[in-house]
Structure 1
């Protein structure tokens, strides 16, 4: 099963980055290129433990739906979102936030995923998804970073 890790430094405190990372509206704005929409569950604002959201999007010209839940929540250090139903055999995304010692946050994403359809899915993982998925998370993190840094003012 493929796994990857992305580390992003954000010049805002962990509480702020954590909350922004759980905001459905921020996620939708970060995924505008895939016409992503929240169509069920929490469709706007922040999410918490046990909340679900159903996303509808288009990737590789294919429309899909994915319902995920917040399965772990420890503000401001960590939360996990996992697929409940959708296009993956498995989708597990752990988000970690720790102070950098200078007023900012080290945000670390650890993603495990598996494509469906057995050997055909493994081919898709190897040929496409292992490159595509990290790029998607990196794009999302750039947007989270921009929102957190742009609207943050130190007290």
Structure 2
């Protein structure tokens, strides 16, 4: 963690062979821009790599985009900047 600029989540134990999710924040004028760097590796060797390529990469991208949309909406509501 490097408050308030970035923090990283690292999976210690779980379904993935490895998972690292870095959140980077920067100020642009009155706006905060967040960049996600999401790295993961599935178990099961070549089968896991094929699964990543044809399914999991797109699924995780959609999941992160939706999650970030909800975080943004929640932050804007709390800041009194409700945008629909």
TM-score, with structure 1 as normaliser: 0.50
Shift of 1:116: 0.6
Distance in 1, matches of 2:25 and 2:80, equals 19
Aligned to 1:83: 11
What is the SS of the residue equivalent to 1:86?
A: coil
| Deviations, residues 8-44 of structure 1 (Å, cap 9, x unaligned) | xxxxxxxxxxxxxxxxxxxxxxxxxxxxxxxxxxxxx
Of the three residues 39, 56, 65, the one matched with 1:138 is 65
Aligned to 2:54: 127
Structure with greater helix percent: 2
Distance in 2, matches of 1:74 and 1:148, equals 20
Question: Relative CO higher for 1 or 2, CA cutoff 8 Å, sep ≥ 6?
Answer: 1
Aligned to 1:95: 23
Gaps of 5+ in 2: none
Gaps of 5+ in 1: 1-72
TM-score, with structure 2 as normaliser: 0.91
Distance in 2, matches of 1:88 and 1:118, equals 12
Cα RMSD of the aligned pairs, angstroms, is 1.2
> Any runs of at least 4 consecutive aligned residues in structure 1 with deviations exceeding 4 A, and if so which?
none
Q: Does 1:111 align with 2:38?
A: yes
Counting matched residue pairs gives 81
Shift of 1:130: 1.2
Shift of 1:104: 1.4
Distance in 2, matches of 1:137 and 1:100, equals 22
